Structure 1
Amino acid sequence: MHPRNVQKLFPTRLAQRLVCTVLFYWLGFTPLGYADDNPLSDYFIETWTTANGLPHNSINAIEQTSDGYLWFATWEGVARYNGLEFVLFDRSPNTHMQDSGTRALATGPDNQLYAGGARGSLVMRSGFSWQNLPVAPSLINDALHDQSGGLWLAIEGMGVLYYTSKQLRQPSPDPQHFIKTTSSYHLAQTDQGHVYAATEDGVYQLSKHAGAAHLSFHNLFTKAFYVSSSQDGALLVGSESGAWRYKNERWTPLASALLNQAITMVEQDSRGTYWFGTLNRGIAHLRDNHLDFLDGHRGLPNNRILSWFEDNEGSIWIGTNGGAMRLRYAPFVTLTKDNGLAGNYVRTVLGGDGDTVWAGSSEGLSQINTIAGNARVLADNISVLSLAHRQQGGLWVGTYQKGLYYWHQGSLTAANTINDQLPDSEIRAVVERNGVLWVGTPRGLVEFDQHQSKSPTAASVPYQKQALYHSQNSALPGSYIMSLSFDDTDKLWIGTGRGASYLLEKTITTLDFSAQEQAQYVFGFFHEPGYVWMATDRGIVRYRQADGHQALVGRPQGLPIDKFFQIVKGDDQSFWLSSNRGIWRINYDHAHQVADKTRTRIDFEHYDQSDGMLNSQANGGSNPAATKTSRGDIIFATAKGVTSVNPTRLSQLLSHPLPIVMQSVRFDSKEINPETTGKVPAGTNRILFSYAALGYTMPEQIQYRTQLEGFESDWAYRHENHIAEYTNLPPGDYTFKVSARYPYSDWSDDVLSYHFSVMPSLWQRADVRALGFLLTVLAAYAAFMWRIRHMKKKAIQLEALVEEKTQALQAQADDFERMSKEDALTGLANRRAFDEYWHQVFEESRQSGTDLQVAILDIDHFKRINDHYSHLVGDQIIQRVGSLLLREQTHLRHIARWGGEEFTLLLAGTPADGYRYFDGLRRRIAALDLNDIAPSLSITVSIGVASNHQASDYVDGLKKADQALYRAKRDGRNCVRQSNDTA
């Protein structure tokens, strides 16, 4: 029976839907249930609300323009997102919006954004400009820019309007009108060019030539909320009665479990997965015939779904009544008890055969299938500390306070004969080699030898204690054994709480770590031909087998923390380091170069909860705490599950292009449109560029470099800073360029360029200078002739005149010199003056041994002050801070405005003196009374301080102060951080 005949036999809509469901089963459509596994666990979830910068929590529409920006339509305006912050565009003369309330967004091929909403407001954004378009007769629910350049509008209570591209440019056009008395909610265009509208009266196919054609639904539903197109060209419909697929005049349900649900949206993403929005159950996800729901209990801001979007990087954005959510494939994937682990507090992981990883937690032993991304519990109610492969098959399992166990043939058994011979029942490290078992405990290292019987079985071979090594009876530096590992020369490496040793042929050799920042705790080893790397509480130490030479890669070499637990070499030629503060990646070759002292600093990349980890605390002190699988996955034991990263997959995530946009350009305090303005007025002191690379995978880690051609001969590395500022540029033609990259990646080929010219002042113009020179020559000649004629009579007057002109020229020269080194807004020295002075006193202090502290002071959240109060108030704040700093001249050797909201300060004294003074200065600024500028306004500052003795040159001193300032901001602002502070 064809579904279109159902209505003849069953008059009620409920009966019709039930019978249709039976028919769909009979016709071969498989029913869909809830997933046994959780497909949504593949995604890393992030949410945004008004607390994170959104202007309103109802996200009515989401779009991405071709320049890479993401746009969110809300009832308080359109929010633009660059991966780090939102910028609001609401009703104003600049946007031409009739009302801030925005319901609809659509994009055009030439980077256009169309925004429609309350009061029929319709505007278009292109580049930095907004243009008003014809006002619609009512609320615009949706907009669609079609393949011919026309614009379709879904109107509340008034059907659909269509404007040709020509009509959009007319002040009072006469658009084509469809289904005039029906509320239309959503529009879609298929690859074949067909346009469909979801309305309160079902689905219509719209044609500019044939009008509106109502599709037959066989009484399956009446109201349609949403239409979209699938990958195979089918029409997808979200209705009051489920989600439907329409192709070849045939309707089929996408998910039988949703037939009684009101579906507010249905889309198919680039991977073929279906997504369904509901009124009160959140978002549904259909993959491989598994239906899974994501609702408020699992992190969704609100269960009512308003919008959905897949961005250029494949991330899924969901708009709700309570904020926005993003689901993305994060660099790190974490498995927890929800995925089958015995417990979340994982202490040890061990790679097995193929795709198997063993995990020991405080609640038991688990086996992980890294392909399937799930785990199963092998044993519970046992606290596991360490794991090792057993030569007779299975695993050795070291526990907390229950001694040693072994897992073999599906069962976990206590190794009682061994435990009876142990000095302690806490087993933190185990290793077996050539029939000898080594067990590490807090009271020493125990050696067991295997005693073979005539026909031993894998489970019955006894072990006899051979020796106990501890700090009292051997050369071990400490008895608390934390790690054990064999290298390729048969040395047994022993990590303790007091240092490291190796045992070879019954002889223990202890390493002296006194030159390695007094390292003590040795948590793990990594072996490679010729070298042993050790993870310690003072960084990582390299031991060279040929001559026993040791070298540290730690804080003095650029790592921001001391303590690392495990070292794993990835297939990407990187070292991956676990720690209490996330996972760190360093370049393998660079680590060797630093150890060889052919490189002074080590660059690093840091990963934490923002990259997919559920907890930034990786565990150590028991072994192994990290491992690598045959596929190249690197697995870490953490305080909340087992976290893994695949360097190849990470590289793929970071391989997306990084389009770079110019966010704003300011000449002094005035923001200009760089698309229409390329001339900098004469007398401009400061030019500020704000730029962003629109990558959303790890936006916080995108690095930038800039170059101002005509002023700089090479690129300037900006780290993660997306603001560049130049002051007092001389007249001339310039090109500002920006390039971006993810760490360990090549710089993007997409280089942003902005060409501009700085106009000369009158006195800087070549023609004025030539005229002045000519007049000077003529005046000098006339004076000379006059002097010849009247030398005797006018000698005294001529001498006075010459002196007067000389003084005037000197005064002018002094003014020019002062102007080139003084900040016009505050009267303080400018950046150029400070650079010259700092360079001079740095070299003098190097010879005299004087202590100097250089600081960079930055006004916190200054952009918010400008945005909220105005740039005039922002300038007054800068002046007020500058006035306070001028009063500090008795304490400071030099004060300058560095640019923008930043000041540089120079203090004579030790780091302790510097911290006390600058912390007091921070408090005095926080106590400023600014009510005369703006009521209830207060400010705080962040200060980064560096000592001259920490820097190799004056430039390095400023760099260290800037890095300290960055840490102060990262630590919450309104604080002082010195360059030797813990990061």
Structure 2
Amino acid sequence: MMISPSESDVSPGPCILPGTFRSKLALVCNTLCFFFSFSLLALTPNDSLQHFFLEQWTTRDGLPHNTINSIAQTDDGYLWFATWEGIARYNGRSFTVFDRSATTGLPDSGIFALYTGDNNSLMAAGSRGGIVRYQQNQWSPLPAAAALVRALLYDQQQRLWIATEGAGLWRQEVDGHRDRISSPALMDEAMYSLAESDSGAIWVGTAKGLFLVEENNITPIQPEDGLPVGPVFSLALDHTGHIIVATEQGVFTGSVQQGFALIHPELTMAASALLMEESTLWIGTLSDGLFRLDSSGLEGLGTDSNKPANRILALHKDTEGSLWVGTNGGLFRLRNAPFTSITSQHGLADNFVRAVLPLADGSVLAATSRGVSHIRHQLAEPFNHPAPFLRESILSLAKDAQQQLWFGSYAHGLFTIAADGTSRLFTRDDGLWTNEVRAILPADDGSVWIGTSRGLNRWYQGRMEQLDMSSGLPGNYIMALYQSSDGRIWIGTGTGVAFWQNDALHTLDLYSQDAAEFAFGFLELPHQEFLWITTDRGLVRYDLSKNTLSILGRSAGLPFDKYFQVVADQQNNLWLTSNRGILQFSLDAAQAVLSYREATLALKHFAEGDGMLSAQANGGSNPAAALHQDGSVWIATAGGVAFSHPERLSNFSAFIPPVVLEQIRVDGEPVQQQGPLSLAAGTQRIELFYAGLGYVMPQQIQYRTRLKGFDSDWVERGQQAYTELTNLAPGHYQFEVIASYPGGEWSTAAASLHFSIAPHLWQRPLFWLLVLVASISLLFMVIRWRIGQLKIAATELKRQVTEKTIQLQQKANHLEQSNNEKSELLEQLRLQSEAFARQARQDPLTSLANRRVFDEMLLQEFSRARRHQHPLCLALIDIDFFKQVNDRWSHSVGDEVLLRVAHSLQQHSRSTDTLARWGGEEFALLLPETGLPEALQLCERLRQQISQLDFSDIASELHITVSIGVTACHDSTEADRLLLQADTALYQAKAKGRNQVFSCRQ
């Protein structure tokens, strides 16, 4: 558990853990295994450990063993963990385990020591004296040591030092020759750690204390030098060159010349692991958790000795600044995170939060299922008011211009506290529709609007008014209230949106936007004429001046349907809350999609791995999210209050993750990458799996690939961490992949693979040259032979002509005598003629009438309609964003979409109508004897049927809609004019957002 001391617990001195060590533990008495996930704003010495975001991995997550003996990171970015069941390599998403096998050459899977060397190499050692080196995807075993290896070290002269368990200290020279350090004190001693001083001397931590090895001179550090008698578990050098020593009786620092002393009076427990970085020292203990010592003092994360993760064995800081902690109960990480979560561990009344309300003094009110909490300096306490009402389940919060606070409850009505402290309770007895209050809006005119689950109330000048569906509301379940700059009061319900203007209710056709019904929240931005509405089908934009609606939904790239609250930050970004995390994207990007300048929305998606205890943001009550005066965004979730500082998100994108090729499969079989690959002729499929080695937001890393010799530019892969290459022609290729965090820079060094595909014999130039020579020779021989045969053939040809003439005459006579055979022949000719005629009038893909047939029918029906004064309508139907279907999924998927759309149109059209494929993704529908109202109803039914088509069997995320332009024949004398009107109506349907029917009368 992270330390969360109250202000009275913090001493004025440099250490926040006053008194004896036992009194200090009273503040930090929970196990490391149950650290609460509280995000780290920046992993720097100035931040309290209570703000760190901590994650845990165990064998359930892919580790081979829960005891982490050592941690290292190689130059390529991989993290490595030594366990008793092998070495685990981590890429941010999954572990790859290397254990005892012919591949590694390890004599045993028990690994204790890891050490990174030059040229992206890794040394690993452990049980049975096994030592191996990993470099360029190859394992190379070294001669085994005499016993378990506890520590490894390459010194400045590139000599390898090997510390063993009971078999002494060994030094391996550059030429591979290995000698044992001949000292009685070190001969049979258990060794724990090694460190090299700036002068090249080697410090050795053993079971009997600390030793200094200078070439052949060995100096033991005696008790009179200041170190206690007993084992030395870990060593580190500070920035001054002094050695820091972890012992059973605390952490000491010093030198041979100056002696040793406790580094801090509170650090008197058994220390097991040390990590020194600049002026900050991290200390892992054997039973008392993790500590940090810097210029601001000592701070710790405590443990409960009854829990399994109390023994810290390894510490490592990775290239992104995250601290990795290896324990006997799993792997932990303290790191940066975009979000901070405040929960019951920090004083919150309950973790299920329904609304948040920032106040003028910088504090925040949180409405939870167990009452209202007041959050100051990221610590929560019960709201300072004696009313039992405020300890009940609270759904909504508000503050009016007179600083009066309003609280809406789940079952007890509406409670208000004035600035002078007086309070009042409103219930059903005072005119509320029900005591379940989900939204509160103090309006500019002094009235207070109250949204309940049964209807809408308005409290004005001492009177409680009631509004419901009989008054013009689209629904009685009120979830959101908002006042726009033009004075309108907006009401979000479970079945649509209404607004109050000029003492009357008006409704919006929200259902026209992809059948949206629920309206959860509203937002109007300064100096803009748009109102943003969060719905159960996406984010709707309403133009306040033009009274038009448009929507950002799944077709625009939003990953799911339902969104609760929209917040705009000071960096011109929009934040959407949902049941499945938080989305962030720029306002400019949203406007670009809605104005058809971009097809899809570029966004960031945040969830539990980004600092939130729960990705479920709550909705249906207000305000479910809000902008704080310091620029942070606060969100009510099912796991406490989450908040983020948007301006700091760029820090997470600043790191450029290195990218590596992890696996290559050729025609389904794995292939080891050892330089350029030479692939056999006929290779059909090459699968390349890669990983961006970033650990802060690994799931959000994006990739670009390029196949030199095939691609002219980089190909965007999104978050897809593999590429499949199929049916490549023989030749030489170079595959490259780069990575970045969203919004960050791309890798400057690409991971690459050179490979070549051999040609078949018949694909080689020499083969075709031989074929050409042989063909010319054969042709020459044939010509000569043919010339010789022509003379003979002249006479023979004359004879054959005479014989054929006689035979044809006999057949003609025979056909004249065989009437049945003649009839069969004529019938076959007739059927063939009909088939040819039918093919000339039918679309080959959809089997619908083609444009030629439709033109004939249009002229025929137009003439008949003009002659008899009968109604006639024409509809042009266009599949929305059809080009994206071909580009994203393939032309075969596009053809299947055309077939299914054509079948649906034909199935739901009338038998008297004429349906034709007009061209590409457009269809034309001629509706004789049909007036414009009937035509609009029919076309709307066709649009809805197509929008409900299921394409999941061919593309899981494919959703198809159509736009339809409809016109009617009235006084026009030309059929072409009717086509022009329908095309104009179709254009208007597209311009107004697609997926709709638009009519244009002549």
TM-score w.r.t. the length of structure 1 is 0.73
Equivalent residue number for residue 956 of structure 1: none
Aligned to 1:447: 458
* Secondary structure in structure 1 of the residue aligned to 2:648: helix
Which AA in structure 2 matches 1:119? R
Q: Tell whether the 8 Å contact from 2:271 to 2:283 is kept in structure 1 after alignment.
A: no
Structure 2 matches for 1:488-507, cutoff 5 A?
488-507=485-504
The number of aligned residues is 790
Is 1:438–2:448 an aligned residue pair? yes
- In 1, the alpha carbon distance for the partners of 2:682 and 2:87 equals 36
CA-to-aligned-CA distance 1:266-306 (integer Å, 9 cap, x gap): 3245682523231x4444455743543344799x8632222
Counterparts of residues 331-350 of structure 1 (less than 5 Å): 331-350=338-357
Q: Distance in 2 between matches of 1:659 and 1:790?
A: 75
Q: Distance in 1 between matches of 2:516 and 2:407?
A: 29
Q: Indicate the SS of the match to 1:292.
A: strand
Counterpart position of 1:579: 578
Once residues 310 and 851 of structure 1 are traced to their aligned partners in structure 2, the CA distance between those partners, rounded to angstroms, is: 65
Q: Which amino acid aligns with 2:450?
A: G
Partner residue in 2 for 1:511: 508
In 2, Cα distance between equivalents of 1:659 and 1:101: 29
Question: In the TM superposition, what is the alpha-carbon distance from 1:646 to its structure 2 partner?
Answer: 1.8
User: In the alignment, which of 146, 152, 175 is matched to residue 155 of structure 2?
Assistant: 146
Picking from 461, 467, 470, the partner of 1:469 is 467
Counterparts of 2:356 and 2:381, CA distance in 1: 13
Tell me which residue corresponds to 1:930: none
How far residue 470 of structure 1 moved from its aligned partner, in angstroms, is 3.1
Match of 1:86 in 2: 95
Deviation at 1:660, TM superposition (A): 0.5
In the alignment, structure 1 residue 564 sits paired with structure 2 residue 563: yes
Q: Is the 8 A contact 1:851 1:910 kept in 2?
A: no
Q: Amino acid of the residue matched to residue 696 of structure 1?
A: Y
Query: Take 2:956 and 2:459, find their aligned partners in 1: how far apart are those partners?
Result: 56
| d(CA) in 1 for partners of 2:522, 2:776 | 81
Indicate the residue corresponding to 2:244 in structure 1. Answer: 236
Aligned-partner Cα distance in 2 for 1:634–1:63: 36
Correspondence 1:824-973 to 2 at 5 A: 945=956
Residue 821 of structure 2 corresponds to which residue in structure 1? none
2:391 to 361, 365, 381: 381
2:56 maps to what in 1? Answer: 47
- AA aligned opposite 2:612: M
| Structure 1 position 116 matched with structure 2 position 125 | yes
Matches of residues 156-305 of structure 1 in structure 2 within 5 Å? 156-164=165-173, 166-167=174-175, 170=176, 172-174=177-179, 179-190=186-197, 193-208=200-215, 210-214=217-221, 216=223, 217-218=225-226, 220-246=228-254, 249-259=258-268, 261-269=269-277, 272=280, 274-278=282-286, 280-285=287-292, 288-295=296-303, 302-305=309-312
- The 8 Å contact of residues 144 and 187 in structure 1, kept in 2 or not, is answered as yes
Distance in structure 2 (CA, Å) of the matches to 1:244 and 1:837:
71
Compute the displacement of 1:42 (Å): 2.1
1:642 alignment counterpart? 641
| Secondary structure, aligned partner of 2:301 | strand
Shift of 1:105: 0.5
Shift of 1:910: 11
Q: For residue 664 of structure 1, what is the aligned residue in structure 2?
A: 663
How far residue 80 of structure 1 moved from its aligned partner, in angstroms, is: 1.1
Q: Please say if residues 245 and 252 of structure 2, whose CA atoms lie closer than 8 Å, have aligned partners that are also in contact.
A: yes
Q: Aligned partner of 1:267: which letter?
A: L
Q: How far apart are 1:177 and its partner, in Å?
A: 5.5
Report Cα offsets for 1:765-796 as digits up to 9, x if no partner: 2223223322332333344445556778999x
Q: 5 Å matches for 1:599-748?
A: 599-748=598-747
Q: Deviations over 1:861-908 (max 9, x none)?
A: xxxxxxxxxxxxxxxxxxxxxxxxxxxxxxxxxxxxxxxxxxxxxxxx
Whichever of the two has the greater Rg, that structure is 2
- Give 1:125's aligned residue: 134
Report how far residue 738 of structure 1 moved: 0.7
Moved more, 544-553 or 778-787: 778-787
Shift of 1:714: 3.0
Unaligned runs of 5+ in 2: 1-12, 29-35, 37-47, 795-888, 908-944, 964-1002
What amino acid does structure 1 have at the position aligned with 2:407? V
Question: Does the residue aligned with 2:211 lie in a helix, a strand or coil?
Answer: strand
Which residue of structure 1 aligns with residue 750 of structure 2? 751
Query: Cα–Cα, structure 1 residues 51 and 466, in superposed 2: closer, same or farther, change >3 Å?
Result: closer
Report the 3-state secondary structure (helix = DSSP H, G, I; strand = E; otherwise coil) of the residue aligned with 1:654: helix
Q: Percent identity?
A: 35
Distance (whole Å) between structure 1 residues aligned to residue 341 and residue 426 of structure 2? 35
Partner of 1:319: 326
Deviates further, 431-440 or 612-621: 431-440
What's the CA shift string for 1:850-871, capped at 9, x where partnerless?
999xxxxxxxxxxxxxxxxxxx
Q: Which amino acid aligns with 1:439?
A: W
Q: Kindly indicate whether residue 80 of structure 2 is the aligned counterpart of residue 71 of structure 1.
A: yes
Aligned to 2:144: 135
Q: Aligned match of 1:426 in 422, 430, 436?
A: 436
How far does residue 617 in structure 1 lie from its aligned partner after superposition? 2.0
Q: Deviations over 1:406-447 (max 9, x none)?
A: 345695733569984544433322232446031313244443
Change (3 A) 1:536 1:696: same
Distance 1:915 1:670, change over 3 A: closer
Please give the secondary structure, in 2, of the residue aligned with 1:770.
helix
SS in 2 for 1:483: strand
Conserved 8 A contact 2:86-2:100 = yes
The alpha carbon displacement at 1:643 in A equals 0.7
The answer for the alignment partner of 2:916 in structure 1 is: none
In the alignment, which residue of structure 1 is the partner of 2:369?
362
Residues 299-348 of structure 1: CA distance to partner in whole angstroms, max 9, x if unpaired?
A: x8632222221111122222222322222222221101211222222111
CA deviation profile, 1:488-513 (whole Å, cap 9, x unmatched): 22222222333222223433332221
Query: Would you say the 8 A contact 2:703–2:740 is kept in 1?
Result: yes
Cα offset, 1:367, TM superposition:
2.1
**Aligned alpha-carbon RMSD (Å):** 3.8
CA displacement at 1:837 relative to structure 2: 6.2
Task: State the secondary structure of the residue aligned to 1:774.
Answer: helix
Relative to structure 1, the CA distance from residue 750 to residue 401 in structure 2 (aligned partners, 3 Å threshold; closer, same or farther) is same
Displacement of 1:524 in angstroms is 1.2
Asked whether the equivalents of residues 656 and 745 of structure 2 are also in contact (C-alpha less than 8 Å), the reply is no
Q: Secondary structure at the match of 1:436?
A: coil
Whether the aligned pair in 2 keeps the contact of 1:425 and 1:441 (CA below 8 Å) is no
Cα offset, 1:241, TM superposition: 1.6
Specify whether residues 348 and 912 from structure 1 end up closer, same or farther in structure 2 by C-alpha distance, changes over 3 A only. closer
**Which of 97, 122, 126 is the equivalent residue of 2:106?**
97
Q: Deviations over 1:350-378 (max 9, x none)?
A: 12225322212222222223x55555643
Distance 1:503 1:202, change over 3 A: same
Contact 1:533 1:542 in 2 (8 A): yes
- Helix, strand or coil: the match of 1:56? coil
CA contact under 8 A between 2:524 and 2:532: conserved in structure 1? yes
Question: Structure 2 CA distance, aligned partners of 1:722 and 1:624?
Answer: 38
Distance (Å, rounded) in 2 between the aligned partners of 1:949 and 1:390: 46
Answer yes or no: is the 8 Å Cα contact 1:579–1:617 preserved in 2. Answer: yes
Distance 1:842 1:413 in 2: 63
CA contact (8 A) 2:440 2:451 kept: no
Query: 3-state DSSP class of the match of 1:590?
Result: helix
Q: Contact between 2:947 and 2:962, CA under 8 Å: does it hold in 1?
A: no
- Paired with 1:223 and 1:180, the residues of 2 have a C-alpha distance of 16
Alignment pair present for 1:532 and 2:527: no
| Closer/same/farther in 2, CA of residues 391 and 681 from structure 1, 3 Å limit | same
Measured at CA, do residues 206 and 657 of structure 1 come closer, stay the same or move farther in structure 2, by a change above 3 Å? farther
Contact 1:236–1:267 (CA<8 Å) still a contact in 2?
no
Cα displacement (A) at 1:725:
1.9
Rounded Cα–Cα distance in structure 2 between residues aligned with 1:692 and 1:651: 21
**Aligned counterparts of 2:382 and 2:238: Cα–Cα separation in 1:** 37
8 Å contact from structure 2 (residues 451, 478) kept in 1: yes
Q: TM-score, normalised by structure 2?
A: 0.72
The structure-2 alpha-carbon separation of the partners of 1:495 and 1:250, relative to structure 1 and needing over 3 Å to count, comes to farther
Partner Cα separation in structure 1 for residue 521 and residue 305 of structure 2:
39
What does the per-residue CA deviation read over 1:246-280, in whole Å, with 9 as the maximum and x for residues that have no partner?
A: 35734333454442x322213245682523231x4
Report the Cα distance in structure 2 between the residues aligned to 1:757 and 1:254, rounded to whole angstroms: 60
